Amino acid sequence: MTPSSDTKKYWLDSSENVTKLFHGLWVVCLGLISIDLFLHRHEDFGFAMLFGFHGFYGFFACVALVLAAKQLRRILMRPEDYYDRDSHER
């Protein structure tokens, strides 16, 4: 099947739009982290008052979840033909 000239083109197919999205994401992230300079928080722990703590904590928590999921996959992964085998072979 060869691609025809009338295939639908999506907005992320254009590299200019991807670049705009990337730059926009940076602007939003920098804006949100700059709010941390002016925001007065009432925290229970001193380390939570550090600049950017909540952002860094969230980022590292997501990285930890991905790494834990990769290890959990090794334990829970079934063989590729698991569901194709007969029930008496399991």
Chain segment 11-28, per-residue pLDDT in tens = 888 999 999 999 999 999
pTM here is 0.60
For the cut 90, the answer to whether the pLDDT of residue 80 exceeds it is no
- Tell me, what amino acid is at 30? L
Chain segment 24-58, per-residue pLDDT in tens = 999 998 998 888 888 888 889 888 888 888 889 99
Collapsing DSSP to helix, strand or coil, 27 comes out as helix
Cα 3 to Cα 6, 8, 15, 22, 69: the distances in Å are 8, 11, 20, 29, 37
* Domain ranges, ordered by start, for the chain: 13-77
Give CA–CA dist 67/90, Å, rounded.
30
Contact present, 41 and 49 (Cβ < 8 Å): yes
pLDDT of residue 2: 55
Count of residues in the chain:
90
pLDDT of residue 22: 96
